[in-house]
């Protein structure tokens, strides 16, 4: 049964008792839950051990004349829905609980003006300062591992991601796709203000965005013509009063003047009044090239398959294993004791790692701090050290940041045990490649025999693989698990060529 806490003391005591050693997810909301919130909660429940749903109608983000008092509230209905989805805790503090009445001159969080003076900012002065202040409070109170936000509130999402980066907060921000009604209207708590006629009129927002996106896909890169296409659609519903329609860079929110650049996420964002209800929506026009994330247990054939898929599709093979090997080589080269985690963190945090793409069947090359170590990272000493350092939080954090930097450009295929769940949770295509323990043991035995080792016991191999699966799936940091939106491919009785063809077929269907 979901527990409701009104006070910080009650919530934190619960988290200390129940949440110790567990991953904690936070879904911040203002209540009046709808299917959009539901998608965030479902994802959080699937990925985290314990999920906290916060419900707080934040007065700091409402301006004069806005709907603070009328904003829909339904705590009992929200509780029932959250409980049905498996949420553990609801944190529903009052204004006083969060200390908003305690001081006249209260500390607030001020996001970069360049991100708040565009889009909704000029029309809602102080709004994002209020959002940033309360979200920071929630992060401090709950201390979540991951916090979930929807892409519909794109400006809010970009600002929160920047806040986390600038303040060195340890929470991971997980962005989740906009959920829409069958008509295309983006889900919003404010949709319940709309009459049946207004709800129909409101669909023009998404139709305008779609028209511009389609025009972009046909090769149009001119800002003026793309805006005109959307405006022409919007003009078909004169009752819808446009507040703004803009094209901005997806991460920085900076306006784009004339022509959309390649390989930079560009957001078309809109705000309009339908009757007395203000609605927002957005679409990304040109996203990066797709990312294919392939996860699965040891021995499922991920490395071979990933490399071949990348070659066939003309994408970049992101060799995450080579990255870990590069750091292991650096630790050995500098004679750092691998058990000295502070020293390892100090050394690796400033390391520069660059992958050197090579055509198959060559292995990926690597540079560390400008030095080519492509051959040096393949030694037995490096291989022996990799698993030790890969379990260290600082090493994983360093490489997670680097891998995501590669991901910003898109067009990559990556494999591992947490690629689709942790590294690229928004990958366009996620694959969970697996096989039975018995099949993987048979493959391993065949490899050993090909190497001339005939003394390997099949039963022992099966036991070792089962134990490895258990350790991988229960480890504290980024355990092996299937992403909720991943396609599972069981490779028993399949050749490598058949697996590759299956993934390529899924990729083509996605286009």
Q: What residues act catalytically?
A: 37
Tokens linked to 52: 């906290």
Read off φ and ψ for residue 236, nearest 5 degrees. -75, -10
Between the two ends of the chain, the Cα-to-Cα distance in Å is: 42
Kind and range of the H or E run holding 311: helix 302-313
CA-to-CA dists, residue 332 to 43, 335, 424, angstroms: 40, 5, 29
* Tokens 């109170």 sit on residue: 141
Question: Which three-class secondary structure state does DSSP give residue 428?
Answer: coil
CA distance 141 to 93: 11
Kind and range of the H or E run holding 223: helix 223-234
Greatest Cα pair distance in the chain: 80
Instruction: Beginning with the edge strand found earlier in the chain, give each strand of the sheet holding 3-5 in spatial order.
Output: 3-5, 89-91, 50-55, 24-29, 146-150, 172-176
> Within its chain, how far is the Cα of 434 from the centroid?
23
Beta bridge partners of 283: 268
CA-to-CA dists, residue 172 to 28, 60, 164, 375, 419, angstroms: 14, 24, 8, 34, 15
Instruction: Beginning with the edge strand found earlier in the chain, give each strand of the sheet holding 365-368 in spatial order.
Output: 353-356, 365-368, 371-372
Are the CB atoms for 423 and 400 separated by under 8 Å? yes
């Amino acid at each position: 049964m979901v527990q409701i806490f009104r006070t910080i003391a009650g919530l934190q005591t619960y988290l200390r008792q129940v949440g110790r050693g567990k991953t904690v997810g936070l879904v911040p909301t203002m209540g009046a839950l709808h299917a959009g919130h539901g998608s965030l909660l479902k994802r959080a429940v699937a990925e985290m051990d314990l999920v906290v749903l916060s419900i707080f109608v934040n007065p700091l983000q409402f301006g004069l004349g806005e709907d603070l008092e009328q904003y829909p509230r339904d705590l009992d209905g929200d509780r029932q829905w959250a409980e049905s989805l498996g949420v553990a805790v609801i944190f529903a503090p009052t204004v006083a609980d969060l200390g908003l009445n305690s001081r006249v001159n209260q500390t607030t969080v001020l996001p970069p003006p360049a991100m708040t003076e565009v889009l909704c900012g000029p029309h809602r002065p102080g709004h994002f300062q209020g959002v940033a202040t309360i979200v920071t409070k929630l992060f401090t109170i709950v201390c979540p591992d991951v916090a979930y936000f929807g892409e519909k509130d794109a400006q809010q999402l970009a600002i929160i991601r920047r806040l986390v980066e600038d303040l060195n907060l340890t929470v991971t921000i997980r962005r989740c796709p906009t959920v829409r009604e069958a008509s295309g209207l983006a889900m919003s708590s404010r949709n319940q203000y709309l009459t049946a006629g207004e709800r129909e009129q409101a669909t023009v927002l998404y139709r305008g965005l779609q028209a511009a996106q389609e025009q972009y896909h046909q090769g149009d890169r001119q800002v003026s013509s793309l805006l005109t296409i959307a405006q022409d659609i919007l003009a078909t519903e004169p009752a819808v009063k446009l507040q703004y329609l803009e094209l901005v860079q997806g991460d920085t929110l900076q306006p784009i003047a004339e022509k959309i650049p390649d390989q930079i996420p560009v957001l078309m964002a809109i705000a309009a009044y339908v009757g007395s209800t203000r609605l927002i929506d957005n679409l990304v026009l040109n996203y990066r090239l797709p990312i294919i994330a392939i996860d699965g247990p040891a021995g499922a054939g991920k490395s071979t398959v990933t490399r071949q898929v990348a070659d066939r599709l003309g994408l970049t093979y992101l060799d995450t294993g080579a990255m870990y090997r590069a750091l292991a080589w650096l630790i050995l080269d500098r004679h750092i004791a691998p058990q000295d985690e502070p020293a390892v963190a100090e050394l690796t945090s400033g390391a520069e790692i660059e992958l050197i793409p090579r055509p198959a069947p060559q292995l990926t090359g690597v540079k560390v701090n400008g030095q080519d170590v492509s051959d040096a990272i393949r030694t037995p000493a490096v291989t022996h050290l990799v698993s030790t350092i890969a379990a260290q939080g600082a090493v994983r954090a360093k490489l997670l940041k680097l891998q995501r930097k590669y991901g910003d450009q898109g067009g990559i295929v990556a494999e591992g045990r947490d690629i689709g769940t942790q590294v690229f949770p928004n990958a366009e295509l996620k694959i969970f490649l697996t096989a039975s323990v018995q099949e993987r043991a048979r493959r391993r035995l065949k490899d050993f025999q090909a190497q001339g080792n005939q003394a390997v016991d099949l039963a022992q191999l099966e036991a070792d693989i089962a134990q490895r699966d258990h350790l991988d799936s229960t480890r504290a940091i980024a355990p092996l698990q299937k992403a909720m939106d991943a396609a599972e491919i069981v490779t028993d009785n399949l050749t490598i060529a058949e697996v590759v063809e299956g993934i390529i077929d899924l990729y083509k269907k996605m286009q």
